[in-house]
Amino acid sequence: MVVIESYDKIIYMKNKKLVILFIILALVLVGGVIFVSLKNFNLKKDETSKITTSYLMRDSEPYYKDDYPGIIFRLIESNDGIEKIYAREINKTSDYLTDNIRVFYREFSDGKELRYSILKNADPKTFQSLGDYSKDAKNVYFKGILIDGLIAQEFRYADPSNNFIADNNNLYLNGKKIDGVNIKDVRFFEDKQKKQSVTLLYFIFKNNVYYENKIIEKADVNSFEIINYSERYWKEDYYAKDKNYVYYKGNIVIGANPKTFKYVPAIFGEPIDGEARIIEGSKWFDGICEYKEGVKYKCI
DSSP assignment string, 7-24: HHHHHHHHHHHHHHHHHH
Is a pLDDT exceeding 70 seen at residue 73?
Answer: yes
Distances (CA, A) of 238 to 26, 131, 177: 64, 23, 22
CB 46 within 8 A of CB 37: no
Examine residue 36 and state whether it is found in any structural domain, yes or no.
Answer: no
Range from 98-102, 107-111, 121-125, 167-171 carrying the lowest mean pLDDT:
107-111
Give me the pLDDT at residue 197, please: 47
CB 248 within 8 A of CB 256: no
Examine residue 227 and state whether it is found in any structural domain, yes or no.
Answer: yes
Is 118 in the same domain as 174?
no
Is 180 in the same domain as 77?
no
Is 127 in the same domain as 175?
no
| Chain Cα centroid distance, residue 282 | 32
Is 216 in the same domain as 246?
yes
Distance between CA atoms of residues 284 and 262, nearest Å: 6
Is 293 in the same domain as 184?
yes
Distance between CA atoms of residues 204 and 119, nearest Å: 34
Examine residue 267 and state whether it is found in any structural domain, yes or no.
Answer: yes
Is 177 in the same domain as 120?
no
Is 132 in the same domain as 187?
no
pLDDT tier at 191, thresholds 50, 70, 90: low
3-state secondary structure of 293: coil
Examine residue 37 and state whether it is found in any structural domain, yes or no.
Answer: no
Is a pLDDT exceeding 70 seen at residue 153?
Answer: yes
Examine residue 218 and state whether it is found in any structural domain, yes or no.
Answer: yes
Q: How many CB atoms lie within 10 A of CB 213?
A: 18
pLDDT tier at 237, thresholds 50, 70, 90: low
Examine residue 22 and state whether it is found in any structural domain, yes or no.
Answer: no
Q: How many domains does the chain have?
A: 2
CB 175 within 8 A of CB 145: yes
**Which has more pLDDT, 23 or 177?**
177
Q: What is the mean pLDDT of residues 132-159?
A: 92
**Which has more pLDDT, 211 or 61?**
211
Output Rg (C-alpha) for the chain, integer angstroms: 30
Distance between CA atoms of residues 42 and 32, nearest Å: 10
171 closest CA partner among 147, 199, 145, 143: 147
Give me the pLDDT at residue 270, please: 55
Is 142 in the same domain as 168?
no
Examine residue 31 and state whether it is found in any structural domain, yes or no.
Answer: no
- Which residue stretches of the chain are H helix? 2-34
CB 12 within 8 A of CB 18: no
Examine residue 27 and state whether it is found in any structural domain, yes or no.
Answer: no
Give me the pLDDT at residue 283, please: 81
DSSP of 186-204: EEE---TT--TT-B--EEE
Is 138 in the same domain as 225?
no
Is 96 in the same domain as 190?
no
Strand partners, 225: 241
Domain ranges, residue 281: 164-299
Domain boundary among 112, 146, 180: 146
Is a pLDDT exceeding 90 seen at residue 254?
Answer: yes
Sheet of strand 208-211: strand arrangement: 186-188, 202-205, 208-211, 214-215
**Which has more pLDDT, 37 or 151?**
151
Is 177 in the same domain as 292?
yes
Is 123 in the same domain as 189?
no
Domain boundary among 146, 175, 199: 146
Give me the pLDDT at residue 39, please: 41
Mean predicted lDDT score pLDDT of the chain:
76
